[in-house]
Each structure stands twice: as structure tokens, then as C-alpha cells.
Chains A and B, each alone.
Chain A
């Protein structure tokens, strides 16, 4: 299961989604699919569920999508914005 990090908030700026790490004070802008993943992380969700949601939305091949989701989650975790729980 993946969740947002508790000390992180998202804010809409124009059409972009900007994430803020309250602890570190860093801001991160997210693009379309990464923003979708962030939004989905409002509730704890598995990596497979994220892939399913994005495959449905973007009509892409599941393998390609799975690789992208893994990369985004890695990225979010590395920046302390999301974490794997349980």
C-alpha cells in the first residue's frame, strides 16, 4: 500500500499541481499522470490499483504504465512526498 506522507500538502497553481514538503520547505511541480497518482494517494492504494486507474484513464499498455507508476512512486518516495505503508 502507498500513501501520501503526512507532512506534505498539494496546491493548485494555475493548471499545475504543486506539492509542498512542510518539513523540508521544498516545492515540487507534478505533471498529468504524476498528479493523478498524487490525487489517488489521498487514500491508501496499492501499486496495482494505481496502474489499473491510469491504464483506464490514458489508454496505455499495462506494462508501460506499470513502469511509469513505479518510477513516479520512487520519485515521490525519494522526495519524501509519499511512502509505502504496511
Chain B
């Protein structure tokens, strides 16, 4: 295993950033280390003292970043915008746990000024469609159905990174290549030739890596698809709805720079259409395909 100070040996790309690490970042898209990294992850023998501000769940917000205690005993010190130190615990397994690539990554992204959203996103004809809804509304399943139909490619699943490009265009960055899907949905993806399912320790869902967009360039948003929410045309109500679908909202309220992140959400609410659709519990192939064709028809109608 990487001893302290070994230097980055693994490159990855995710959420618009180049990552360099001394531990493989499997859930991100692999990349070379030829280009300068935006974020460098390195093991340290001892953590530097920090200036704690407030404790939220298993992490401490500090004046200059975040200290995060992961479930496997690894402690991670985030120093935004570009450095992550980590110290192994006695049970270090050789790879970071999934929360490193979810919650912890979202905290770093937020500190850097992008807005982590709890939602799945797909690309259709060069534009991004962001799918939001409460847990169980069927975000990933709808994203999977659209990809399986052949009309869409994956941008991000579960954690999506929203930013404004050129100051005015709400856009998304490609996230993790894998989707976490119910086993039945994962099998339907396999049948459609849209990836191979594999399991992840400690998770009932299966991971499928379907066809996806290029890893770095931001993709302008066409619309937000809201599942199981009451329809509204009022931009301030849309803004409130989108705020509810921020990733780890308790954290997002605490991390500095929320004015800038709020601006991005407002810009999205005011300038990007919303498509309201019922949530759906999809179990079989017929329902899966019908779901894709129904939503695709509404997408085409909104586009024309």
C-alpha cells in the first residue's frame, strides 16, 4: 500500500476536474497524469492540526476546509480547492469507501463553487437533462431507461455537479461512470446491451457502466425533469424545489460560498424549463421501455 509521501500515481477525471491520487479512484473515469491535476490526494503519516468551526454528522467543518471520518477508519482532510490529505486507520483496505466518491466529493465540489445536486443526468443531442425527485421516485431508473432506449448517454447518477459556464449557462459535468441500480433494472440494462452489472460490497444495488458522455466538457442543461413533485410555473417555487434537491443540504448550508451556489440555483430556476412527471415503480421490461418512450415523447415536445 502507498506509504506516506509516495506521490500521486493514479489519474482520474470526474465532475469537471482532473484528480491525481496515490490510491486508485475506481469509481471515477480513469485518466493519465499528463495534465496538471485540479485536486491532488495524498496519504500522510499524521494529520496537521485544524481549526474546527462546527461538527456535522461524521465530519468537522474547519475554517479552511473539512475533516471527514470515514466508516472504515480513514480520516480525510479536505483543503479546498485542490488538496486532500488522508490518514489510514488500522483496517485500511487499500481503497477508499464509496462515501469518498459521494458525500466527500460533493463537499469539495461545493467548496469549489459548483452545486452538488441529488439527481441523475443524461445527455440527449448534446444537451443535459437533470432528473430530480425524492428517494424512491425513480431517478436512476428513468435515467437508465433513457440510456437503454439508445436515445441518451449517462452524465451522472445520484451525485450531479451543476455549474454556470461563461457566467450564464447552467451546465452539468460528467460524474461517476457507474449507475447504482436495482438488480432487476441492472438486468434490463444488460439485456439492452447498455453495460454489465457488478456488485459492490455492502450495497443491494448493482453497478452498471452504460454508454456515457466525454469526461471533461460541461454540458448545457436543456431542462430539469422533476419526478413526483407538484407542478409549478412560478420561478421562486421552482427555486425552492431545486434547493430541496441539493446533495447533503445540511452541509451545503454550512460550506462557505453559498451565495454563489444560490445564484446558480436561481439562474437554473429562472432560465431552464422544468418537466414534471409522476414517480414510477418499474419492475419489468415492458414498463421500463414504456417509461423511456413516454418521457422521450415529452422531451421531444418540449424541444420543438
* Chain A residues within 8 Å of B97, by CB: none
Interface size class of B (residues with CB under 8 A): 10 to 19
Q: Is B9 an interface residue (CB 8 A)?
A: no
Chain A residue at smallest Cβ distance from B266 = A22
Q: Is B48 an interface residue (CB 8 A)?
A: no
Q: Are B259 and A23 in contact (CB under 8 A)?
A: yes
* Chain A residues within 8 Å of B53, by CB: none
Q: Is B27 an interface residue (CB 8 A)?
A: no
Bitwise, B225-249 to A at CB < 8 A (1) or not (0) is 0000000011110010000000000
B83 to A: closest C-beta gap in Å: 30
Which of B233, B259, B267 contacts A14, CB < 8 Å?
Answer: B233
* Chain A residues within 8 Å of B151, by CB: none
B33 to A: closest C-beta gap in Å: 37
CB proximity to A under 8 Å, residues B251-281: 259, 262-263, 266-267, 269-271
Q: Is B94 an interface residue (CB 8 A)?
A: no
Bitwise, A9-28 to B at CB < 8 A (1) or not (0) is 11101100010101101010
B79 to A: closest C-beta gap in Å: 28
* Chain B residues within 8 Å of A23, by CB: 259, 263
* Chain B residues within 8 Å of A27, by CB: 235-236
Q: Are B167 and A22 in contact (CB under 8 A)?
A: no
Chain B residue at smallest Cβ distance from A22 = B263
Chain B residue at smallest Cβ distance from A18 = B235
Q: Is A7 an interface residue (CB 8 A)?
A: yes
Chain A residue at smallest Cβ distance from B235 = A11
Q: Are A22 and B235 in contact (CB under 8 A)?
A: no
Q: Are B259 and A13 in contact (CB under 8 A)?
A: no
Chain A residue at smallest Cβ distance from B167 = A6
* Chain B residues within 8 Å of A9, by CB: 168, 267, 270-271
A25 to B259, CA, bound (A): 9
A42 to B: closest C-beta gap in Å: 13
* Chain A residues within 8 Å of B167, by CB: 6
